């Protein structure tokens, strides 16, 4: 392995270059932060009020509690659920922005967006109880938009979130009601949680965790409506063949990286780029080349086949190629240091959202009324930058892997339906019942430089594949697999066990696609974990059991962000065993740690487990799948 904490060869080359020019990357900064403070690491540092920070010092008289008397379990529980609040706020605000634009489309107020997938509009409308018979498309869209916005605005605590109740099965809905975690309004549950965890409010760790789970369910609703409305506006993903890794950056083209999360802008940049190829050629380039980083990259990959440059931990390294003319960012997971990296080259960093600015970067205020104009201006800025590119500084790693992506649940169903038109999910559940595959695992979430970049993601994928586990992926995890060449048909031959190979062969024969199906099905960005949960719910419905009984596991091998905590928490509430590849800052309280890793299983069927060792984690996931299969067989 290289001297750097990454398995990615292209990243290694760029880290060498960074070293040469004296740029300290996130890899250097991660090293500089070691050793971490044990209080923070285990979650027993409280900074909720200005009397803090309070740390739990059991050996000091009076030190076993915070100044206010908060015990370790209160502090740990509060800290944990505040991560959830942050994550759910981010996902949901993203969803709300899409919903606002969606409403304006329905009202005919914006010209740069339109309803693209009417079938999906109809399906979603029916599912959430909007009348569709004989009605005008725009009137239906407006009702859908209003219902979506009402999810945020609801303050009547007797109400239930539509995007939870209508997309979950009845056993789960009832579970959410029985445990008092069914949210009524997204904003309400987040505000409540911040209130609940203010100094001197809730001291009961279990009650705090349940408040956190309510916020986590709000996160699901925000994610799900973000996915649905984005699909309706921009189209629902269908299988595409493209490529991944830094080799997707082209020396002869104007390169623009789309980085962040919200597709409202990146999608329009894709459209604008198609129209502006000639302008780029007039500037001496061979055209405009778009590449994606993080989840906005996943969004435009799913819908447009835009190649992946890299994922979270290596975002600075896309700039180190010297060939990145502009990096356009919106919100979330954007390292402020990209601006410093850009200073070493000619790269323009363009921020676009009012809540996300970086000192020294260009700010192009994005507004939906002038989306296309903004997109064109940004591309022109990149073309100008291209003219100043110093060719001597260009060094693009010659590494790229074929990626077959675009697997919305609809796209997967289209394949399954060729084998079983009436009950598409039966294709999966039958294969499990026959012992051909052991179950399904979703690999999701971020990079975290407490470990080696992309090592856990790719190792777990390979281990599970070998054990005949069908693999789904989203987020930076999906990108890790794509970068490493696991998202194509070749990877099935290399890594899949015999059963999984047979399953893939059957799908391939039926699918009739021009490319072979990949080892891992890329279902999209992190908000698209809603697609993954829909997959799980469909499995449960097909098997006629509760979600907590299906052979389905989730792993966030390198979890980092608050959003990942929110996603993990609702996965547990939905009954999914959820692996996290870093030790969570819950371990400072035995009680809280036991609640989320053990008691949770008694209540929800799902639970967390922390396991930084990729091999041990995979073995445990296989064991869990086998155990659930065994129980299901016993039940018959």
CB of 543 to ligand SF4, least distance (A): 46
**Residue 56 binding: pick among ligand SF4, ligand NFS, none (C-beta 5-8 Å cut-off by kind):** none
CB of 87 to ligand NFS, least distance (A): 8
* Binding interface with ligand NFS (CB under 6 A): 261, 294-295, 312, 333, 445-446, 475-476, 525-526, 560-561, 563-564
Query: For residue 140, which of 115, 166, 109 has the smallest C-alpha distance?
Result: 115
Contact 315, 259 (CB under 8 A): yes
**Residue 199 binding: pick among ligand SF4, ligand NFS, none (C-beta 5-8 Å cut-off by kind):** ligand SF4
CB of 58 to ligand SF4, least distance (A): 14
155 vs 201 by CB, closer to ligand SF4: 201
**String of contacts with ligand SF4 for each residue 35-64, x by CB under 6 A:** -----------xxxx-xx-x----------
Q: Does 146 bind ligand SF4 (CB under 6 A)?
A: no
Cβ neighbors of 213 (< 8 A, separation 6 or more) are 179, 181, 569, 570, 572, 573
Q: Does 66 bind ligand SF4 (CB under 6 A)?
A: yes
**Residue 70 binding: pick among ligand SF4, ligand NFS, none (C-beta 5-8 Å cut-off by kind):** ligand SF4
CB of 551 to ligand SF4, least distance (A): 42
Q: What tokens were used for 397?
A: 């790693």
How far is the C-alpha of 221 from the C-alpha of 236, rounded, in Å? 18
Residue 252 per-residue DSSP state: T
Beta bridge partners of 291: 257
**String of contacts with ligand SF4 for each residue 586-625, x by CB under 6 A:** ----------------------------------------
Q: Does 71 bind ligand SF4 (CB under 6 A)?
A: no
CB of 47 to ligand SF4, least distance (A): 6
Q: Does 67 bind ligand SF4 (CB under 6 A)?
A: yes
Out of 9, 24, 68, 251, name the contact with ligand SF4 by CB under 6 A: 68
Contact 466, 496 (CB under 8 A): yes
Q: Could you tell me the CA-to-CA distances from 3 to 13, 27, 400 in Å, in that order?
A: 11, 11, 22
Tell me if residue 138 falls in helix, strand or coil. Answer: helix
How far is the C-alpha of 467 from the C-alpha of 439, rounded, in Å? 10
* 3-class SS string, 549-588: HCCEEEEECCCCCHHHHHHHHHHHHCCCEEEECCCCCCCC
78 vs 504 by CB, closer to ligand SF4: 78
**Residue 238 binding: pick among ligand NFS, ligand SF4, none (C-beta 5-8 Å cut-off by kind):** none
52 vs 612 by CB, closer to ligand SF4: 52
CB of 252 to ligand NFS, least distance (A): 29
322 vs 524 by CB, closer to ligand NFS: 524
Q: Could you tell me the CA-to-CA distances from 67 to 38, 41, 63 in Å, in that order?
A: 19, 20, 8
72 vs 463 by CB, closer to ligand SF4: 72
**Residue 600 binding: pick among ligand NFS, ligand SF4, none (C-beta 5-8 Å cut-off by kind):** none
Cis, peptide link before residue 53, omega less than 30° from 0:
yes
Residues between 188 and 207 with contacts to ligand SF4, criterion CB under 6 A: 199
E strand intervals along 314-437: 324-329, 348-351, 362-363, 401-405
How far is the C-alpha of 122 from the C-alpha of 140, rounded, in Å? 8
Q: Could you tell me the CA-to-CA distances from 215 to 88, 194, 278, 419, 521 in Å, in that order?
A: 7, 10, 48, 39, 28
How far is the C-alpha of 603 from the C-alpha of 599, rounded, in Å? 7
202 vs 558 by CB, closer to ligand SF4: 202
How far is the C-alpha of 86 from the C-alpha of 97, rounded, in Å? 17
**Residue 66 binding: pick among ligand NFS, ligand SF4, none (C-beta 5-8 Å cut-off by kind):** ligand SF4
**Residue 561 binding: pick among ligand SF4, ligand NFS, none (C-beta 5-8 Å cut-off by kind):** ligand NFS
Q: Which residues bind ligand SF4 (CB under 6 A)?
A: 46-49, 51-52, 54, 66-68, 70, 75, 199
């Amino acid at each position: 392995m290289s001297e750097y904490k990454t398995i990615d060869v292209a990243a290694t080359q760029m880290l060498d270059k960074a070293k040469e020019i004296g740029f300290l990357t996130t890899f250097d900064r991660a090293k500089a932060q070691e050793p971490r403070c044990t209080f923070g690491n285990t979650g027993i540092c409280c900074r909720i009020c200005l009397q803090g920070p309070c740390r739990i010092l059991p050996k000091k008289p009076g030190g076993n509690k915070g100044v206010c008397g908060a015990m370790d379990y209160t502090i740990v529980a509060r800290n944990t659920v505040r991560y959830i609040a942050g994550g759910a706020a981010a996902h949901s605000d993203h969803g709300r922005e899409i919903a606002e634009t969606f409403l304006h489309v329905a009202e005919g107020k914006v010209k740069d967006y339109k309803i693209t997938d009417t079938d999906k509009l109809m399906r979603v409308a029916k599912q959430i109880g909007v009348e569709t018979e004989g009605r005008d498309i725009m009137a239906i869209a407006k009702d859908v938009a209003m219902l979506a916005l009402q999810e945020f605005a609801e303050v009547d605590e007797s109400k239930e979130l539509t995007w939870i109740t209508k997309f979950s099965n009845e056993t789960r809905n009832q579970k959410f009601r029985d445990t008092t975690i069914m949210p009524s309004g997204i904003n309400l549950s987040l505000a409540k949680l911040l209130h609940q965890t203010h100094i001197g409010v809730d001291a009961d760790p279990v009650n705090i965790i349940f408040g956190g789970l309510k916020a986590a369910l709000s996160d699901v609703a925000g994610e799900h409506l973000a996915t649905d409305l984005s699909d309706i506006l921009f189209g629902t993903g269908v299988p595409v063949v493209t490529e991944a890794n830094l080799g997707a950056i082209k020396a002869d083209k104007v390169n623009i990286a789309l980085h962040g999360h919200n597709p409202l802008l990146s999608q329009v940049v894709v459209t604008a780029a198609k129209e502006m190829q000639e302008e780029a050629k007039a500037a001496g380039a061979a055209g405009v080349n778009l590449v994606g980083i993080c989840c906005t990259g996943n969004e435009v990959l799913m819908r447009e086949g835009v190649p992946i440059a890299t994922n979270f931990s290596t975002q600075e390294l896309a700039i180190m190629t010297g060939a990145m003319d502009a990096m356009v960012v919106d919100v979330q997971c954007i390292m402020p240091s990209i601006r410093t990296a850009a200073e070493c080259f000619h790269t323009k960093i363009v921020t676009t959202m009012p809540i996300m600015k970086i000192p020294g970067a260009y700010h192009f205020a994005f507004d939906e009324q002038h989306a296309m104009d903004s997109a064109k201006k940004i591309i022109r800025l990149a073309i100008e930058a291209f003219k100043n590119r110093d060719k001597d500084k260009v060094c693009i790693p010659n590494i790229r892997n074929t990626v077959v992506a675009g697997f919305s649940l609809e796209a997967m169903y289209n394949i399954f339906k060729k084998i079983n038109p009436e009950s598409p999910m039966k294709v999966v559940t039958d294969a499990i019942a026959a012992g051909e595959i052991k179950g399904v695992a979703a690999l999701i979430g971020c990079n975290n430089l407490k470990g080696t970049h992309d090592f856990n993601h790719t190792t777990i994928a390979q281990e599970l594949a070998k054990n005949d586990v069908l693999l789904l992926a989203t987020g930076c995890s999906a990108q890790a697999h794509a970068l490493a060449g696991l998202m194509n048909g070749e990877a099935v031959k290399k890594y899949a066990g015999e059963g999984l190979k047979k399953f893939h062969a059957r799908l391939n024969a039926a699918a009739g696609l021009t490319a072979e199906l990949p080892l891992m099905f890329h279902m999209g960005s992190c908000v698209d974990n809603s697609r993954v949960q829909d997959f799980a719910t469909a499995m449960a419905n097909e098997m006629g059991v509760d979600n907590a009984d299906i052979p389905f596991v989730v792993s966030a091998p390198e979890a980092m962000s608050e959003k990942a905590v929110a996603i993990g928490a609702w996965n547990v509430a939905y009954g999914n065993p959820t692996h996290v590849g870093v030790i969570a800052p819950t371990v400072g309280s035995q009680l809280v740690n036991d609640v989320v890793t053990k008691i949770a299983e008694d209540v929800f069927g799902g639970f967390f487990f922390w396991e930084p060792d990729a091999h041990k984690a995979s073995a445990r996931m296989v064991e869990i799948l086998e155990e659930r299969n065994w129980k299901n067989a016993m039940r018959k």
